[in-house]
Structure 1
């Protein structure tokens, strides 16, 4: 008998149209931002470029900064899976380092458009702060998984600290010639501290 419940249900026509509109707005915004700079592009211009009203634009993106960071509902899942599904023998800080290097750096290395995108973010204070705030919203969920995987109490402040600093680490790489090296060194520091803590019980 066929399992009708396996896999997600197909997206309906209304949902497809909504997703297409959202993507069109995000694409138009990014194109204009890359051409002229974030601060020199207005919301009305973006709406016109995407052929939507400003009201429709704000239904999809409540603030201007959100236009640059199209919501990724799988982002937190991938982060937590990096800890839960790490290979045997790999420490939690190592797993988080690999996730940071792979998901936050690999795209920039392989695509000139992503390089331009990261340059835009790094050179625009409003975007710089917004993306970090978005990323840090995963702190509590990551801390809970770290506690679960390490057998520590759910409210252990060390787990919260590791989660916070692991998510903050990529910030230190901004503006450096070799961001990979900076991220690697930051996680080496976290590894030493976590090893010392877990070894001490």
Structure 2
């Protein structure tokens, strides 16, 4: 964000930091783009880290500064995911249940539609077809369980330590795993969330 303060000293100080951050972001994006391109061309297991570094014109040391493990190269937007996930619960339309909002999020962001963007579909197929990436993606998502459970509790008027909130958060994040190897993943996710919806509705009625 640019400063509204006038004066040469105030104007000059943020600039170097901004340039450094932009350069770091550009390097990170170049590495991620090179990795995904090679993975889609030849498969995840067939591509080495050194080859990715060469394709991005960086050293392997630089690569690992941005991505500590090979799997992380495929998921370069993790930092934004939790905020987006919590917004699904907190900003859902009036009258929409929390499980329904989370189901919609799972269907539209974690499962690519077959008639959607071809590159995104290729990406999800890469993840679904690579056990190491499936496991990493799932573990990455499950890190958000505590924050999601807290948002659910706040929106539901339940205690922060209510186990029902943690259970709903965990299984909402876990549900898409069951769809990875199925012929109709959207149907699998929908049915999983139907179970969560029924259980949550029963809980809500008991609290009323």
Aligned residue for 2:54?
A: 48
Query: What is the correspondence of 1:124-143 to structure 2 with a 5 Å cutoff?
Result: 124-143=130-149
Structure 2 residue 161 is matched with structure 1 residue 155: yes
Aligned residue for 1:86?
A: 92
- Structure 1 length as normaliser, TM-score? 0.91
Output the CA distance in 2 between the equivalents of 1:32 and 1:136.
Answer: 27
Output the CA distance in 1 between the equivalents of 2:179 and 2:124.
Answer: 12
Aligned residue for 2:9?
A: none
More deviation, 10-19/29-38: 10-19
Quick one: structure 1 residues 82 and 123, their matched pair in 2 at CA, closer, same or farther if it must change by over 3 Å?
same
Do 2:92 and 2:101's aligned partners in 1 also have CA atoms closer than 8 Å?
Answer: yes
Structure 2 residue 34 is matched with structure 1 residue 20: no
Show structure 1 runs of 4+ deviating over 3 A.
106-109
- Structure 2 length as normaliser, TM-score? 0.89
In the TM superposition, what whole-angstrom CA distance separates every residue of 1:69-91 from its partner, at most 9, and x where no partner exists?
Answer: 10332211111111111111111
1:197 to 175, 198, 203: 203
The count of corresponding residues between Structure 1 and Structure 2 is: 196
Q: Report the CA distance between 1:106 and its aligned residue.
A: 4.6
2:122 to 95, 116, 121: 116
Do 1:108 and 1:118's aligned partners in 2 also have CA atoms closer than 8 Å?
Answer: no
More deviation, 129-138/112-121: 112-121
Output the CA distance in 2 between the equivalents of 1:26 and 1:19.
Answer: 10
Q: Report the CA distance between 1:112 and its aligned residue.
A: 1.1
Output the CA distance in 1 between the equivalents of 2:114 and 2:59.
Answer: 32
Larger radius of gyration: 2
Aligned residue for 2:37?
A: 31
Output the CA distance in 2 between the equivalents of 1:164 and 1:120.
Answer: 24
Q: Report the CA distance between 1:109 and its aligned residue.
A: 4.1
Do 2:90 and 2:151's aligned partners in 1 also have CA atoms closer than 8 Å?
Answer: yes
Q: Secondary structure in 1 aligned to 2:79? A: coil
Do 1:147 and 1:159's aligned partners in 2 also have CA atoms closer than 8 Å?
Answer: yes
Q: Report the CA distance between 1:66 and its aligned residue.
A: 0.5
